[in-house]
């Protein structure tokens, strides 16, 4: 004896739910892109003879503006705060490259404080970041 099959119903996908999901994905992507936002302090770079690139994601950038204020990730710190941040970063990853970005008008004594911290912590992977000369 043959049992008659019932007709299958096709699944119903509500289109309004799709637009809600697309909207939520858009918001999620926008929020994630803001997490990787790099805050830069406006400075005038010195110029260099030769340009050398490094891996930006493995760097700790210390910004020094023309008045001598120190910044890490867009947040202002004093020398003691910078020392704590550098020490913690080096403990997590000893091969981290420290980049010092100083304004062209910054007196050397302001950069010297950061260099003394690195010397005390015996960290030797340091770069002084400059802009390459025009035409190169």
Q: Where are the domains of the chain?
A: 47-132
Predicted pLDDT of residue 51: 47
**Tokens 């008008």 sit on residue:** 105
Neighbours of 121 (CB within 10 A): 15
Predicted pLDDT of residue 73: 83
**Tokens 């010195």 sit on residue:** 46
CA distance from start to end of the chain: 87
Which DSSP state fits 62?
Answer: E
Top-level class of domain 47-132:
alpha beta
| pLDDT higher than threshold 50 for residue 136 | no
Q: With 0-12 CB in 10 A as exposed, 13-18 as middle and 19+ as buried, what is 46?
A: middle
**Tokens 């809600």 sit on residue:** 20
- How many whole angstroms separate alpha carbon 94 and alpha carbon 85? 13
| pLDDT higher than threshold 60 for residue 68 | yes
Confidence of residue 45 (pLDDT cuts 50, 70, 90): low
Contact (Cβ atoms closer than 8 angstroms) between residue 48 and residue 133: yes
- CA dihedral (74, 131, 84, 86) in degrees, to 10, reads 130
> Which two tokens mark 115?
């260099």
């Amino acid at each position: 004896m043959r049992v008659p099959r019932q007709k299958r119903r096709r699944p119903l996908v509500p289109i309004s739910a799709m637009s809600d999901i697309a909207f939520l994905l858009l918001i999620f992507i926008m929020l994630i892109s803001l997490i990787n936002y790099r805050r830069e302090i406006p400075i005038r770079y010195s110029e260099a003879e030769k340009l050398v690139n490094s891996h930006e994601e493995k760097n700790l950038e210390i910004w020094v503006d023309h008045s001598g204020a120190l910044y890490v990730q867009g947040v202002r710190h004093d020398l003691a705060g910078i020392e704590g941040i550098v020490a913690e970063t080096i403990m997590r990853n000893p091969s981290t490259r420290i980049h010092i970005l100083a304004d062209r008008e910054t007196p050397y004594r302001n950069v010297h404080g950061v260099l003394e911290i690195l010397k005390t912590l015996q960290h030797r992977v340091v770069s002084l970041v400059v802009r390459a000369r025009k035409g190169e």
